[in-house]
Structure 1
Amino acid sequence: MKVITAVLIGAGLRGGWVYAAYAQSHPEDLKIVAVAEPDEERRNLIAEVHGIPEERCYQDYRELLEEEKMADCALVCTQDTMHFEPVTKALEKGYHVLCEKPMSPDASEIVTMGNMAEKYGRILMICHVLRYSSFFSRIKNLIEEDRLGRLISIQHIEEVGYWHHAHSFVRGNWRRSDETSPMILQKCCHDMDILLWLAGSSCTKVSSFGDLTYFKEENAPEGAPAYCLDGCPHRDQCAFYAPKFYFEHPKAEADGFIHAVSADTDRKAVLEALKTGPYGRCVFHCDNNVVDHQVVNLEFENHVTVNMTMSAFTENCARRIHIMGTKGELRGNMELGEIELSDFSTGEKEIIRLYTPPTGHSGSDTNMMKDFVRYLREDSVQVRSGASVSVESHLIALAAERSRVTGETVDLREFRKEAEER
Structure 2
Amino acid sequence: MGQNSSQGSSPIMAHRVHVIVVGAGCRGEIYSQYANVHPERVEVVAVADPRKFARTKLQQQHKIVDENIFEDWHSIVEREKFADAVLICTPDRLHKEPAVAFAKKGYHVLLEKPMATTPEDCVAIVEACIQSGVMLSVGHVLRYDPVIHKIKELIDAGVIGDVIHIQHLEPVGFYHFAHSFVRGNWRNEAESSFALLAKSCHDIDLMHHWAGARRCVKVSSFGSVSHFTKENKPTGAGNRCLDCSIEKHCPYSASKIYLDRVKQGHTGWPVSVICPSSFPDIESVTDALRTGPYGRCVYECDNDVCSNQVVNMEFEGGLTAAFSMVAFTEEICKRKTTIYGSKGELSYNGHEVRVFDFLTQRSTKHTANNNTPKCFGMSGHGGADYHLMDAFVSAVANNDPSLIRSGPEETLLSHLLVFEAERSRLESRVVYCGDTSQSSTQSDKNLTSSP
Which TM-score band applies after superposition, normalised by the shorter structure? over 0.9
For residue 319 of structure 1, what is the amino acid of its counterpart? R
Distance (Å, rounded) in 2 between the aligned partners of 1:82 and 1:104 = 8
Instruction: Select which of 381, 390, 399 maps to 2:420.
Output: 399
| Structure 2 residue 272 is matched with structure 1 residue 256 | no
- 1:234 and 2:246 equivalent? yes
Task: Determine the structure 2 residue equivalent to 1:65.
Answer: 77
| Matching residue of 2:394 | 374
Which among 190, 202, 210 is matched to residue 190 of structure 1?
A: 202
**Quick one: which amino acid aligns to residue 31 of structure 1?**
E
Asked if 1 retains the 8 angstrom alpha-carbon contact of 2:182 and 2:301, the reply is yes
Partner of 1:343: 357
Question: Within 2, Cα distance between the matches of 1:219 and 1:55?
Answer: 52
Is 2:179 aligned against 1:158?
no
Partners of 2:226 and 2:130 lie apart in 1 by 42
SS in 2 for 1:342: strand
In structure 2, the residue corresponding to 1:32 is in which secondary structure? strand
What SS does the corresponding residue of 1:137 show, helix, strand or coil? Answer: helix
Most deviating of 320-329 and 201-210 = 201-210
Query: For 1:129-157, what per-residue CA distance to the aligned partner results, in whole angstroms no more than 9, with x for missing partners?
Result: 11111122111111111110011001000
Report the CA distance between 1:197 and its aligned residue.
0.7
Select 1:299's aligned residue among 308, 314, 320: 314
Residues 104-138 of structure 1, C-alpha deviations (whole Å, 9 max, x = no match):
11101111211221111100110011111112211
User: C-alpha deviations, 1:327-361, integer Å up to 9, x for none?
Assistant: 01011122xx2212111111111123457789411
Q: 2: distance between equivalents of 1:344 and 1:255?
A: 45
The letter of the residue matching 2:208 is L
Change (3 A) 1:292 1:301: same
Which of residues 351, 365, 380 is equivalent to 2:385? Answer: 365
Counterpart of 2:109?
97
- Given that residues 30 and 373 in structure 1 are in contact (C-alpha distance below 8 angstroms), is that contact kept between their aligned partners in structure 2? yes
* 2:282 pairs with 1:267: yes
Assess if the C-alpha contact under 8 Å between 1:261 and 1:279 holds in 2: yes
Q: Tell whether the 8 Å contact from 1:223 to 1:233 is kept in structure 2 after alignment.
A: yes
Unaligned runs of 5+ in 1: none
Contact persistence 1:245–1:252 (CA under 8 A):
no
TM-score (norm 1): 0.94
Q: Distance in 1 between matches of 2:401 and 2:389?
A: 16
Is the CA contact (8 Å cut-off) linking 1:399 and 1:415 kept in structure 2?
A: no
Q: 8 Å contact 2:259–2:285 — kept in the other structure?
A: no
1:400 is paired with a residue whose SS is helix
Structure 1 contact 151–326 (Cα < 8 Å) conserved: yes
Separation (CA, whole Å) in 2 of partners of 1:25 and 1:279:
32
CA 1:248–1:135 in structure 2 vs 1: closer, same or farther (change >3 Å)?
farther
Task: Name the SS of the counterpart of 2:167 in structure 1.
Answer: strand
Give the partner amino acid of 1:306: A
What is the deviation of 1:266?
A: 2.0
Q: Which amino acid is 1:44 matched to? A: T
4+ runs deviating over 3 angstroms:
247-255, 353-359, 415-419
| Aligned 1:291-330 pairs, distance under 5 A | 291-317=306-332, 318-330=334-346
Label 1:29 to 1:247 Cα distance change in 2 as closer, same or farther (>3 A). Answer: farther
Q: 1:138 to 1:253 in 2, by over 3 A?
A: farther
Work out whether residues 105 and 398 of structure 1, in 8 Å CA contact, stay in contact via their aligned partners in 2: no
Give the drift of 1:67.
Answer: 1.3
Distance 2:298 2:369 in 1: 35
Give the structure 2 partner of residue 137 of structure 1: 149
TM-score (norm 2): 0.88
Structure 2: how far apart are the matches of 1:194 and 1:172? 25
Q: Which moved more, 1:250-259 or 1:307-316?
A: 250-259
Question: Matched residues in 2 for 1:252 and 1:196: separation?
Answer: 41
Pairs aligned (count): 417
Within 2, Cα distance between the matches of 1:418 and 1:217? Answer: 34
Partner SS for 1:375: helix
Structure number with the bigger relative contact order (C-alpha 8 A, sep ≥ 6) is 2
Tell me if the contact between 2:165 and 2:340 (Cα under 8 Å) persists in the aligned partners.
Answer: yes
Residues 86 and 265 of structure 1, relative CA distance in 2, 3 Å threshold: same
SS at match of 1:363: helix
Residue of structure 2 in register with 1:56 after alignment: 68
Contact preservation (8 Å) 1:206, 1:296: yes
Q: 1:331 to 1:13 in 2, by over 3 A?
A: same
Q: Which residue of the partner structure matches residue 203 of structure 1?
A: 216
Which of 375, 390, 398 does residue 411 from structure 2 map onto?
390
**What is the rounded CA distance, in whole Å, between the counterparts of 2:225 and 2:297 in structure 1?**
16
Give 2:228's aligned residue: 215
Contact map agreement 2:20 2:87 (CA 8 A) in 1? yes
- Helix, strand or coil at the partner of 2:426: helix
State the identity as a percent: 40
Q: CA deviation at 1:244?
A: 2.0
Q: Distance in 2 between matches of 1:175 and 1:369?
A: 28
Change (3 A) 1:415 1:45: farther
Q: Deviations over 1:65-90 (max 9, x none)?
A: 21111110010000111000000000
The alignment status of 1:411 with 2:411, answered yes or no, reads no
What is the alpha-carbon root mean square deviation over aligned residues? 2.2
Q: Report the AA paired with residue 337 of structure 2.
A: I
Q: What's the CA shift string for 1:231-278, capped at 9, x where partnerless? A: 211221212211221144599958621121114212211111111111
Going from structure 1 to structure 2, the CA distance change for 1:196 and 1:173 (only over 3 Å counts) comes to: same
